Amino acid sequence: MDRLHALEAAIEKVILDPKYHDVLTLVKGIRNGIVYGTKVRFPHALVMIFLFRSGSFRSKALLVLKATRTHARNLGLFALVYKSTMLLLRHTSPTSKERHYDSLLAGLVGGYTVFGRTIHNSVSQQIVIYVFARVCLAVAKLAVQSRQSSGGGGGGGAGGGGGWEILGNGELRSKVVKNGWPVFASVSWAAVMYLFRWHPETVQSSLRSSMSYIYVQSDEWDSLRNFIWHNK
């Protein structure tokens, strides 16, 4: 028992050492992303798959686990890429401080790396579309917000009507089809990370809460217990 306490004290000494703080924020960011992704996706997938999917119990359970794993992995990996890029940008800044558009660039890198290359993944698509919708709402608020404002915390039938063919069938269309999703995913994440960093009051409350959990609260701990098991 004494050895266990000594080991715990030694680990706690390391995680409370300021010189390891930046690296450990990446570790906790991954942890928070995985935990939040699991908490959000598991009950949603459980209900939707068992109510509306056909198949055996085993096949449905595997689908639930797969969707949960994908959501948790995506949020954990995005936290790693985003926070790593923010650290890199800060340390390469002439002033060694965060610049105004660092969060935009870090969100762009994370959005492309994690979500922009998975166009055929339904879980990734749902996450990006959710983020995009929240960005639209936040931008709409910014559009009517005064400069002095302070920051704070149907029918399911088949279509069959054909497309409008605005882009034609040539090279432009093929480029848009190829690059449209990576650009959409990357820009959506870049925008939401920038808005969360500099205009958090415009971001929808539940999204703001989840982002605070993953990206802000992962920067703070004062013991081994709230480094591993829960936030401070």
State mean pLDDT over 206-228: 86
The predicted-structure confidence for 51-106, as pLDDT tens digits, reads as follows 888 899 999 999 999 999 999 999 999 999 999 999 999 999 999 899 999 999 99
The whole-angstrom separation of Cα 111 and Cα 188 is: 7
Q: What mean pLDDT do residues 33-50 have? A: 93
Task: Determine the Cα–Cα distance for residues 142 and 196; give it in Å rounded to an integer.
Answer: 12
Rg (CA), the chain: 21
DSSP class of residue 120 equals T
Note the pLDDT tens digit of each residue in 112-129: 999 998 777 889 989 999
Q: Render 155-175 in DSSP notation, one character per residue.
A: ------S----TTTTSHHHHH
Residue 169, token pair as written in the block: 């069938």
Tokens of 196: 């969360």
Strand residue runs (E) in the chain: none
Any idea where the domains of the chain sit in the sequence?
20-146+172-228
The answer to whether the beta carbons of residues 183 and 175 sit under 8 Å apart is no
pLDDT in tens, 114-173: 999 877 788 998 999 999 998 988 887 777 666 665 555 544 444 444 554 656 777 877
